Structure 1
């Protein structure tokens, strides 16, 4: 007979998932490269202080470390990085990240490593960083995006498209310049052409970009550069946000991931494809100087390009592509006939597919499901057999697995008139050893993804069962503005940031309460970056929350409009309006300027080296809450940036968050936990 379940209040259940399990022995795959049958990848390791290690695997062999421990393959281009390495013919090139070497920057020199040798730098010691590397063995160069910290254009570090000498005998050579951003230099199979992506302020890479192609002459220079895609809008509504109008007059097409077919035909993913009255990011092919759709699906074949080096499709042959496709919040693998555009579902257990590469009859990707953690897999496309290459965490034992279940996908009406429609994943409390008193409803944590151009991740994040196994319900919300639901849904947040996302969180909770699956008096929220902002907005502009946890969240929208990273220098204006002319709206939506309305205790977590949401964003709100006597707690983590990478930060923050919820809701979480210092609680100051 099974063990009898204990009756204990929600939040107090004993969980087999300690906070340490969220980071210890875990790793995050940041990039994959295929070099023949050899798979090379970058994995971030919290146990090594967040170092990004390079590993290599070949069929029949074991995964091995490529670099000594003092190398860290990580780029700071656009702050979010990506595309920090490339491998071809056994030669590895990567961008090194190390301690301060130059004023206001990091050592970001590109290194080359030959088999059996130590890495050697191939770029000079200057204040520049490099990303999106592409090796051209015939020319003996590496194509890359260069970002120069001390050379400023439009108030931000200058980017160029460059060629680096693989032999380190010549300085970097600028191939293209003049645009604010460059990405994805991709060499044609015959080595005679180069394609790349570019865009200018105030655009973002998921809104308006241009696809360019040029011939490579024998000297290595680019000749006859011409634009293939990225035309301005035919009509611009004069009533739109002026920032959005400027973007649309630059390019009204988001083109990403240029890729050449085996015969040298250029393809890319573009959101100009219209299906069922909306626009979707589909695979297209360059024909007669323009992009023509290959697929016409009400689905997305690429996510938002927050990082460089993205890859979500690849060629099996001239007439077949294997691609990752997102529909209704989850990803699938599909085969695409490039002549007919027909798509055929590939049966896999995965709901999340990232870093997809195709080569030698195999698909290599990071796959995950709601019940299984991410791992690198190699799928034989002829047989469908899938081989595990690298797990991202130790195997989950039976007790942990028993506390994990796929969520229920819900769609609900939202907004003041109920005209809006949004989506969420609902995770119910789950622990086979416990049940709650019969009349009790569970507290619910509203999880708010970052971006806001992003999406709730359709994959196992052990943080969620960390809470649900203790008796919390979790709502992971795809509010208006999220990706994967078409361009209209993504753009619905423009002008409404801090309003429509808040409305959708209110609507998600109301739907759960109507179903009798949550306690309306015990609602919590957690979010990072812009998700942290929405969490703070919920705490300030609604009476929904009992407590809030903000991870590197934005408290002052005016400050983020003035000081943030290069990629997002004008992003807040796109989401709200031109600054400073719309400064009134920025202040209206900023929690900092309405701290007297904060309706619940808040805990803040912040990295001291965050270039996207600088630490001052947290400090000014802390000072305001102190002055007003509002209950709060906070923790600053040294050497952490935008997103925590170290085991101590990841574990410590979630322990303090859970302890904080217990303090506010009046229960004692199970197990030893690091407790935060709660200030201004009145009778219970600690």
Structure 2
């Protein structure tokens, strides 16, 4: 039996409570001994990030009879393993090699605690103890003045095992806090070793600097013989997807000099250096226009392994991001693709790329143990984000050092009589959702390419309203919501999303727009947004919506738009500069640029130079592009959602726009969430924001959503 109800008013089994508490934010899997460890975000504990482990050993068949899939919490409350380096953080914990536990002694875990940003050490069942000093108060830091991220276990030439960290230092050293020539606070970042004995907790001089300071550093890697170190650096105004430099320097006395820059530059993004052996280094570079694999040795120099119009990496928004793992001196497990991720084994000496059958279309981590156990974190169009295990079988390899790059057109696609690598079917270890709705209430994505008038296409994923047993009224078309991702250098993969299903199961359509500037489609597509933020992203989003209307998929009079951060900017820009949309929801969105560039965090403080233009030389563009300066052209209601502790897009951005809406008498609502930063982690915040958005859309787009509180709109 099919029930007919207006689009948007369908009763749905998917609730805001499910979005907030029914799922678990999974991340950062690690292989520790015979177990798998990872992090889990706990919304009911203020969104803290806990370190957990499998309850038992995990073998190449999946897991043993000890119910390894059950999570055991290692990091006790209220500790929160989360870094504030760059404000986005990244890798925040690791396990000390050789400390995987002997007898009854648990492994030693080191992590950075969110509240004070100090490095701590802990064994399961104990209370954490600090290892790093507490930085002095620095007003411009807006929080702890010493911050740590991306812990990297290393073994020095004498066999000493230690942990290297990226340190973000707001203290100014011996000269104290000060401003640089451009007026910005002086901040240094460098690789540093924090002693495991706790001596640095009260004595900052016990922290040893490993690399010279740069504005930004990432991905330190020591050679297997302990004699050289490789790392990345970049300076303002570059972002890591614009241009980075790859350094290699000898390591003497535990520290390195400036060394040599062997790859990269202001217009070439180099990512993830990894040593293959004592002489050869692998990395990813977009010198060809796509992030492709390269190798380097002092004797042979830098060589491209193969050239494909595929991405073997992505934007380094968080420190510790990786896209491949070295298997031996000649092979690596790699991720590659365009809109979706593929998994394969790359033989460096021949440029042979063997695809592996894997259902995941988005992979956030891929780890291989010596016995062939693979741990994958990711999602697919039919599976929510989860951690899986599998078995990787490799044909016997020679472990050769990589030769000069081979022409991929002549490289074999497989070795011998069969594939050189085979991945078994996946075994679920831990799902982000134990309350997955009936598949009949979940959306089905359709990837589309919408032609642009000036040539080229814009990429998007369309989700039509869907719930088994429900249909809209005959002759009606559904309202459609455009969701625009943040960044703006970001990407929405084709994976199952419960926030999307929250809308589609109620009879609303959703389209995720990968506008120009998005990653996954090569550097030229990313560069479409250079100098054009607020222009290309707006035009691309409008083009997608017009295409849906012209095809009779969406109701052209009931189009809405929502986005967070840079997606909030695009939302506000679309609302103020076009008449396409009837409503919009901006979550911690950028509303203007002159105040924003002064108030935002250091990592993105010069990002706008590339997105809009240098300041003050192109102040005219900063003024002209800002949605705040075009509120007089706005005629439709707006909902603003904001965290009160957001350092990336401060509350002042939302409040300026709120005040402008009130001055013009435009219906609006502004919800400020206490204790939230850039993105909401608390259960109560997620529930309120989700239900408020649905109520808002119902009031503006003309439907009556079931079972949500009515959001009161203001005019002044």
Whether TM exceeds 0.5 here: the answer is: yes
* 2:187 maps to 1:142: no
Question: Contact (CA 8 Å) 1:31, 1:309: kept in 2 or not?
Answer: no
Deviation at 1:495, TM superposition (A): 1.1
> Is the partner of 1:556 in helix, strand or coil?
coil
Question: Contact (CA 8 Å) 1:134, 1:187: kept in 2 or not?
Answer: no
Change (3 A) 1:226 1:289: farther
Give the distance between the partners of 2:472 and 2:124, measured in 1 at CA. Answer: 59
Q: How does 1:150-229 map to 2 (within 5 A)?
A: 150-151=171-172, 154=180, 155-156=184-185, 157-170=187-200, 171-217=206-252, 219-222=253-256, 225-229=259-263
Equivalent pairs counted in the alignment come to: 639
> Is the partner of 1:662 in helix, strand or coil?
helix
Change (3 A) 1:265 1:29: farther
* 2:295 maps to 1:285: yes
What residue in structure 2 maps to residue 85 of structure 1? 93
Give the distance between the partners of 1:70 and 1:49, measured in 2 at CA. Answer: 9
What residue in structure 1 maps to residue 403 of structure 2? none
Comparing 488-497 and 339-348, the one that deviates more: 339-348
* 2:334 maps to 1:323: yes
What residue in structure 2 maps to residue 344 of structure 1? 354
Give the distance between the partners of 2:16 and 2:277, measured in 1 at CA. Answer: 47
Question: Contact (CA 8 Å) 1:311, 1:355: kept in 2 or not?
Answer: yes
Deviation at 1:264, TM superposition (A): 5.8
Change (3 A) 1:603 1:139: same
Question: Contact (CA 8 Å) 1:132, 1:185: kept in 2 or not?
Answer: no
Deviation at 1:592, TM superposition (A): 0.7
> Is the partner of 2:6 in helix, strand or coil?
coil
Change (3 A) 1:637 1:289: farther
Change (3 A) 1:322 1:266: same
Deviation at 1:596, TM superposition (A): 0.8
Q: How does 1:607-622 map to 2 (within 5 A)?
A: 607-622=643-658
Give the distance between the partners of 2:334 and 2:179, measured in 1 at CA. Answer: 37
What residue in structure 2 maps to residue 76 of structure 1? 84
Task: Find 1:131's aligned residue among 122, 128, 149.
Answer: 149
Task: Find 1:52's aligned residue among 49, 52, 56.
Answer: 49
Comparing 8-17 and 453-462, the one that deviates more: 453-462
Deviation string 1:80-125 (CA, Å, 9 cap, x unpaired) is 0001112233232110112xxxxxxxx0111122466432211112
Task: Find 2:281's aligned residue among 266, 269, 275.
Answer: 266
Question: Contact (CA 8 Å) 2:221, 2:231: kept in 1 or not?
Answer: yes
Deviation string 1:157-186 (CA, Å, 9 cap, x unpaired) is 321221111222352112223410011112
* 2:463 maps to 1:446: no
Comparing 50-59 and 22-31, the one that deviates more: 22-31
Give the distance between the partners of 1:256 and 1:586, measured in 2 at CA. Answer: 31
Comparing 481-490 and 457-466, the one that deviates more: 457-466
Comparing 363-372 and 154-163, the one that deviates more: 154-163
> Is the partner of 2:545 in helix, strand or coil?
helix
* 2:468 maps to 1:468: no
* 2:572 maps to 1:536: yes
Question: Contact (CA 8 Å) 2:211, 2:255: kept in 1 or not?
Answer: no
What residue in structure 2 maps to residue 585 of structure 1? 621
Deviation string 1:206-228 (CA, Å, 9 cap, x unpaired) is 111011122333x3222572222
> Is the partner of 1:165 in helix, strand or coil?
coil
Deviation string 1:590-640 (CA, Å, 9 cap, x unpaired) is 111111111310000000011110000011111111111111111000110
What residue in structure 2 maps to residue 357 of structure 1? 367
Deviation at 1:303, TM superposition (A): 1.1
TM-score normalised by the chain length of structure 1: 0.90
* 2:111 maps to 1:97: no
TM-score normalised by the chain length of structure 2: 0.86
Comparing 110-119 and 404-413, the one that deviates more: 110-119
Residue segments in structure 1 that go unaligned for 5+ positions in a row:
99-106, 232-250, 682-686
Question: Contact (CA 8 Å) 2:326, 2:332: kept in 1 or not?
Answer: yes
Task: Find 1:7's aligned residue among 1, 4, 9.
Answer: 4
Deviation string 1:351-382 (CA, Å, 9 cap, x unpaired) is 11112222222322212112210111122102
Deviation string 1:308-330 (CA, Å, 9 cap, x unpaired) is 01111112232221111131x11
Comparing 348-357 and 616-625, the one that deviates more: 348-357
Residue segments in structure 2 that go unaligned for 5+ positions in a row:
59-63, 101-107, 136-144, 173-177, 201-205, 394-422
What residue in structure 1 maps to residue 446 of structure 2? 408
